[in-house]
Amino acid sequence: MEIIVAENAGFCFGVNRAVEKTLHELEDKTKEIYSYGPLIHNNQAVENLENKGLHTIYNLDDVKSGKIIIRSHGLSKDISEEILNMNLELVDCTCPYVLSIHKKVEQFSKKGYDIVIIGDKNHPEIIGINSYCENKAYIINTEDEAYELPYLDRVCLVSQTTNTMEKFKKLTSIVEIKSNNIEVFNTICNATKIRQESTLKVAQMVNAMIVIGGKHSSNTQKLVEISRKYCDNVYHIETIKDLSLQEIQKFNKIGITAGASTPSWLIKEAILTMDNLNKDEMMEAIESSFTKI
């Protein structure tokens, strides 16, 4: 069995930065450290951080003192302001790629442009971006939703950082027809782009593709989507324990990729398990050759 690992897989710059900053904050045992929502979309990594003392919260009611970490995909403007008004300390880990979308949306919204966001309206990154134009953005995620937009005069269009280029181009072309004057910003981040390109490259070469990452991770879901286009057997797993090793042994060329919030130890664990399967296969072959002799 041959195993091919995607060249760019696992933690992106923004997630790595958020995790490193959080680990640094957790060293200070005199203060409680909170994350507003799970720090990253990976249950195993969050569990590890919680074991080190991080508290994940979903509202501010229970917090009286301490530091609150804003995760890499950002937070709504009103909640950030509420945290500051409560005199709590903010550790802002919003990824710079997301921050630049906040700025763009705020700037164009103030100039009177309608904001169109291509993305998932329930994703925290999109909820955060929308708050920078007073929650008035048109959020579209499908071609039908793009066609349903009213005719708009001046539009500023941005994308969720984890979208595929294919979807971005398709929906942008529809919004262009529906607007008089449009400023298009391709805000898909570079880390997403290179992870998708590496996944596509590997998926074309293998009989089965293993995508490691949180079930709620948007960028992991996109890697699954891309893999399915080029490979018939795609397994989206959170850890190697989710995979039937018996089933995977049917394939002779297997690709491995991982989302931007998948820690390296989960990727290594998967590679090691697959490598051990290879050794088992080799041992079985050797043993069966002994009995023949």
Which residues are marked as active site? 125
Least spacing, CB of residue 218 vs ligand F3S, in Å: 9
Q: Which of 5, 6, 9, 12 binds ligand F3S (CB under 6 A)?
A: 12
Query: x/- site string to ligand F3S, residues 258 to 287, per CB under 6 A?
Result: --x---------------------------
Q: How many residues does the chain have?
A: 293
What are the C-alpha distances in Å from 269 to residues 5, 106, 116?
13, 43, 41
Candidate segments 185-193, 209-217, 221-229, 274-282, binder of ligand F3S by CB under 6 A:
185-193
Q: Tell me how far, at minimum, the Cβ of 18 lies from ligand F3S, in Å.
A: 7
**Residue closest to 222 by CA, chosen among 129, 264, 169, 160:** 160
Considering only residues 99 to 158 of the shown chain, the ones binding ligand F3S according to CB under 6 A are none
Find the binder of ligand F3S among 155, 189, 231, 274 (CB under 6 A): 189
Lookup: tokens for 109: 């919204």
Cα 143 from chain centroid (whole Å): 22
- Residue 82 and residue 60 in contact, taking contact as beta carbons nearer than 8 Å: yes
Tokens of 285: 């072959």
* Binding segment (CB under 6 A) for ligand F3S, from list 148-156, 164-172, 187-195, 196-204: 187-195
CB-nearer residue toward ligand F3S: 157 or 254? 157
To ligand F3S, the closest distance from the beta carbon of 43 in angstroms equals: 18
Tokens of 245: 């090793």
Phi, psi (rounded to 5 degrees) for 254: -125, 135
Q: Does 95 bind ligand F3S (CB under 6 A)?
A: yes
Contact present, 162 and 124 (Cβ < 8 Å): no
Does 164 bind ligand F3S (CB under 6 A)? Our answer is: no
CA angle (62, 133, 124) in 5-degree steps: 45
Tell me the two tokens of residue 134.
Answer: 């007073």
Which residues of the shown chain bind ligand F3S in the complex (CB under 6 A)?
12-15, 72, 95, 97-98, 161-162, 189, 191-192, 219, 260
